Amino acid sequence: MRKLYFDRKSLSYKQLVEHLRTPLYRNGYALILSTGITSALGLLYWAVAAKFYQTEDVGLNSAVISIMIFLSSMSQLNLQETMIRYIPVAGRRTPRFVVMTYSVVIGLSALVGLVFFLGIPIWSPTLTFLTASPALAGWFIATVAIWGVFVLQDSVLVGLRQALWIPAENAVFSVIKVAMLVLLAAILPQTGIFVSWTVSVLIIIIPINILLFKRLIPKHIETTTQENLAIPLRQLTKYVAGNYAAALFANMASTLLPLIITQVAGAEANAHFYLAWTIASSLQIAVSNMATSLTVEAIVDSKNIGASRRKAMVGILRLVLPAAALLIVAAPVILRFVGPSYVEEGVPLMQLLALSAIPNVYNAVYISMARANNRIRGIVGVYGANAVMVLGLSHIFLPEHGIVGVGLAWAISQTVIMVVLMLLARFQKPVPTPAVVVAE
């Protein structure tokens, strides 16, 4: 009996190891682990911010961070998805591909940041404190570009199938961010949150890019010597343009919400929203991460794309269902840890956002398969519909329901999109993954 017990235990262990060696799961779980670490330390970060800074300053700084991320997303042209799509087969072209992408995003980010800054009195009067100091103004514009590199480097790691580095990167970034938050509380009581967040980004991108160009990209070139992708300009332009439109819609649905809430309900309401949003959106990010891993595997192993899709769907649901249930139950405890003022509206908001992560599983897998198959119109349609419904319904619900209305808008949007996609799937013929053009 004892021998049988150990045999079963050994078999279970072997199955677990084999499961984790599968690139789809390994990279997907690494991204999800990264999200978990970021969310846990993010909760600590905003809890510390709530203790050391005035509530109004928390709201204003979170709005600045959100608009910085939105402007950076505009400037990225969603090229991170292009790198995930093409780096797996780029071979020796990878370094040039990455450098060119960085250059485009940095240049465009500086321009977009400058234009927004000059127009702050017109489209965002609540953020005029950014204009009080030339140093703060210059740093805000620079952070738009810095954040772009931070996002792109993760996409490079995913495309290289080296996502295991991302949890460590985000853990170090989060720890530095919390430490700087405390150190700056007395020195920069009004802007310390924004400064701690953005300086930490600059600190972390330097060693990660050294790792990329000195070790991981050369290793990738060695293992893909027979796959040196020559991408037709028309195909690349169409892919970038479509995904850029989709990215704008995706970021509008999240990063513009704090700005809307600040303008409609005030900075204090936005502080309550942003903390609950930061925690609950980790589920949405986890879903997206596993779906991103599916995109890479569908490109690398297009013959087994159907099996990868099923594995991804099952794997995501196994994680999301219990996580959503836990978050719904634990929401009062989590927010009470931060402060009593965050509980009243924050709890139902967090619960609605957690609930909306369940239909988002189907939607995210659909987007992943659409990217692998270059079905750009479907991606734009999903993100566009979500942006219209979330922003429109939030604006309608905010005056009557407060920030809880934003959670309601998200839940309605994700559910409606899932139902429509399921109905369309019944009438849509399967589309094979398109072959890539490879240079001899």
Encode pLDDT of 252-301 as tens digits: 887 788 878 887 887 788 878 877 887 887 788 777 767 766 666 666 65
Position 212 pLDDT exceeds 90: yes
User: Residue 188 — φ and ψ, nearest 5°?
Assistant: -130, 70
Angle, nearest 10°, between helix axes 192-211 and 134-159? 40
The residue that leads in pLDDT, 403 or 309, is: 403
pLDDT-based confidence at 4, cuts 50/70/90? very low
Give the C-alpha distances (Å, rounded to integers) separating 297 from 152, 396, 431. 19, 41, 16
User: By three-state DSSP, how is residue 252 classified?
Assistant: helix
pLDDT-based confidence at 228, cuts 50/70/90? low
Position 11 pLDDT exceeds 80: no
List beta partners, residue 229. Answer: 438
For the stretch 81-104, pLDDT in tens is: 778 777 877 778 889 889 999 999
CA diameter of the chain: 77
- List all residues 6 or more positions away from 419 whose beta carbon is below 8 Å from its beta carbon: none
Tokens of 56: 């109004």
Tell me if the pTM is above 0.95. no
CA 272 to chain centre: 21
SS (H, E, C) 95-138: HHHHHHHHHHHHHHHHHHHHHHHHCHHHHCHHHHHHHHCHHHHH
The residue that leads in pLDDT, 4 or 364, is: 364
User: By three-state DSSP, how is residue 433 classified?
Assistant: coil
In angstroms, the CA 137 to CA 141 distance is: 7
Q: Output the pLDDT for position 294.
A: 65
295-312 burial by CB neighbour count: b if 16+ within 10 A, else e?
Answer: bbbbbbebeebeebbebb
Using alpha carbons, select from 124, 439, 118 the residue that is nearest to residue 256.
124
List beta partners, residue 228. Answer: 439
**Dihedral angle computed from the Cα positions of residues 178, 179, 180 and 184, in that order, rounded to the nearest 10 degrees:** 100
Q: Output the pLDDT for position 311.
A: 72
Contact call for residues 113 and 148 (beta carbons, < 8 A): no
Q: How is residue 431 annotated by DSSP?
A: -
In angstroms, the CA 174 to CA 38 distance is: 7
Q: Output the pLDDT for position 3.
A: 46
Contact call for residues 273 and 409 (beta carbons, < 8 A): no
In angstroms, the CA 236 to CA 290 distance is: 24
pLDDT-based confidence at 28, cuts 50/70/90? low
The residue to which tokens 């020796």 are assigned:
92
Contact call for residues 152 and 83 (beta carbons, < 8 A): yes
Q: How many residues does the chain have?
A: 440
